[in-house]
C-alpha cells in the first residue's frame, strides 16, 4: 500500500502540495487524516467535507469507505484507532485498514496523507504493509513564522514570541530530517512549488513511481474529500500566488533575527544526503 506523507511545520503550504498531488489520476489525497477521529468519532464535528457534503459522515465517499471498513473488520471509521499512540500495534493496523479501504473505494494507486506531524510519520514508517515515501516540505521561515503569528489557532499562542517560533521551526525541521535522512525521501521548497509547479512535481512524481500530469497544475478542478487543511482546499480557482507578506510586514530586526536564528533549521532542510531523491 503506497502512501506519500507530507511532513512539515504548520503554515508551510502543505494544502497546496496535497491538492497538486490529488490532481494526478493515480492519486487520492485524504488530507490531514490524523484529524479524522474529530469528525467521525464521538465528537462528530459538523464540518463540511471538501466535496461540499455537510459533514464527513454524510459524504458519499467517506460513507463508502466506512462500509468497506465495516465489511472487512467489523469496526467503523469512528472506532478505528487512527491517532492514539497508547496502542501502537493497533494504531499501525487500523491505519493500514483505513488506507486500504480508501484505495479500494477511490481506485487510486497511492494515497496522500498531509497530516504533517512527525510522530505520525514515524508510526507509519514502522507499519507493516505500508510503503511510505516521506516528502519534507519547508517554506521560507520568514513567511512561515509570520503566518504562525497570524493564525488564530489556540495551540499556536504558546509560540507567540519570535524566539519561540524560531525555535519551533528549527526543532521541527531537525526532527523531520533526523527521521528521514537515511531512507528514500523527497524535499520540496514551498516557494519553488508555487513558482514552477512542473519543475518540482515532475521529479517528485517519478520518485512516487508515476509521470507528472499537466492536470496537476489545475488542482481545483479535481474531486476532493480531504479532511482538515486550510481554506485553500475549498477554492474553485487554480490561481497560484506566492504569499510573501513577510517582505512588507516584518521589520528589519525581525527579518535579521529570523535569518540568523533559523540557520540550524534551514541547514536541516538543505542537507538532503544520499537518500534525498531529486528534491531541491
Ligand atoms: Zn466528501
Count of structural domains within the chain: 1
| Residue 38: exposure state from Cβ atoms within 10 A (0-12, 13-18, ≥19) | middle
22-42 pLDDT, tens per residue? 999 999 999 999 999 888 877
Assess if residue 275 is contained within a domain.
no
* Ligand 1 centroid, distance to 209 Cα (angstroms): 27
* Ligand 1 centroid, distance to 221 Cα (angstroms): 14
* Ligand 1 centroid, distance to 57 Cα (angstroms): 9
* Ligand 1 centroid, distance to 176 Cα (angstroms): 30
Contact 276, 187 (CB under 8 A): yes
238 vs 225, more confident: 225
Query: CATH number, domain at 143?
Result: 3.40.50.300
Assess if residue 79 is contained within a domain.
yes
Assess if residue 201 is contained within a domain.
yes
* Ligand 1 centroid, distance to 277 Cα (angstroms): 33
146-161 pLDDT, tens per residue? 998 887 665 555 556 8
Assess if residue 197 is contained within a domain.
yes
Domain that holds residue 80: 2-270
Judged against a pLDDT cut of 50, whether residue 279 lies above it is answered with: no
Assess if residue 118 is contained within a domain.
yes
Name the residue among 27, 16, 22 with its Cα closest to residue 233: 16
Least confident interval from 58-67, 154-163, 181-190: 154-163
* Ligand 1 centroid, distance to 97 Cα (angstroms): 19
Please report which confidence band the pLDDT of residue 48 belongs to, taking 50, 70 and 90 as the band edges: confident
Contact 134, 7 (CB under 8 A): yes
* Ligand 1 centroid, distance to 29 Cα (angstroms): 11
* Ligand 1 centroid, distance to 52 Cα (angstroms): 6
Assess if residue 228 is contained within a domain.
yes
The pLDDT of residue 184 is 93
Please report which confidence band the pLDDT of residue 272 belongs to, taking 50, 70 and 90 as the band edges: low
Assess if residue 93 is contained within a domain.
yes
Strands annotated E in 117-174: 131-138
Q: How far apart are CA 151 and CA 34, in angstroms?
A: 20
Assess if residue 89 is contained within a domain.
yes
pTM of the model: 0.92
* Ligand 1 centroid, distance to 45 Cα (angstroms): 14
Name the residue among 162, 160, 179 with its Cα closest to residue 262: 162
Amino acid at each position: 500500500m503506497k502512501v506519500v506523507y507530507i511532513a512539515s511545520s504548520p503554515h508551510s503550504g502543505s494544502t497546496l502540495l496535497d491538492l497538486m498531488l490529488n490532481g494526478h489520476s493515480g492519486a487520492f489525497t485524504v488530507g490531514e487524516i490524523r484529524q479524522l477521529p474529530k469528525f467521525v468519532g464521538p465528537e462528530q464535528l459538523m464540518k463540511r467535507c471538501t466535496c461540499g457534503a455537510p459533514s464527513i459522515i454524510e459524504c458519499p465517499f467517506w460513507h463508502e469507505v466506512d462500509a468497506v471498513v465495516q465489511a472487512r473488520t467489523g469496526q467503523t471509521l469512528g472506532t478505528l484507532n487512527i491517532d492514539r499512540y497508547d496502542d501502537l500495534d493497533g494504531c499501525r493496523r487500523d491505519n493500514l485498514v483505513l488506507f486500504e479501504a480508501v484505495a479500494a473505494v477511490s481506485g487510486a494507486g497511492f494515497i496522500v496523507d498531509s497530516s504533517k506531524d512527525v510522530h505520525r510519520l514515524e508510526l507509519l514508517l514502522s507499519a507493516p504493509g505500508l510503503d511510505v515515501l516521506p516528502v519534507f516540505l519547508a517554506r521560507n521561515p520568514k513567511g512561515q513564522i509570520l503566518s504562525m503569528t497570524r493564525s488564530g489557532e489556540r495551540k499556536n499562542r504558546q509560540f507567540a514570541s519570535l524566539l519561540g517560533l524560531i525555535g519551533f521551526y528549527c526543532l521541527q525541521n531537525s526532527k523531520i530530517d533526523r527521521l528521514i535522512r537515511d531512507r528514500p525521501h523527497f524535499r520540496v521548497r514551498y516557494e519553488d512549488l508555487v513558482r514552477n509547479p512542473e519543475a518540482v512535481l515532475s521529479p517528485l512524481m517519478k520518485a512516487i513511481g508515476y509521470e507528472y500530469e499537466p492536470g496537476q497544475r489545475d488542482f481545483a478542478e479535481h474531486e476532493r474529500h480531504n479532511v482538515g487543511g486550510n481554506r485553500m482546499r475549498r477554492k474553485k480557482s487554480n490561481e497560484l500566488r506566492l504569499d510573501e507578506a513577510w517582505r512588507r510586514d516584518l521589520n528589519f530586526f525581525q527579518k535579521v533575527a529570523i535569518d540568523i536564528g533559523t540557520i540550524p533549521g534551514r541547514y536541516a532542510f538543505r542537507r538532503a544526503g544520499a537518500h534525498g531523491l531529486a528534491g531541491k
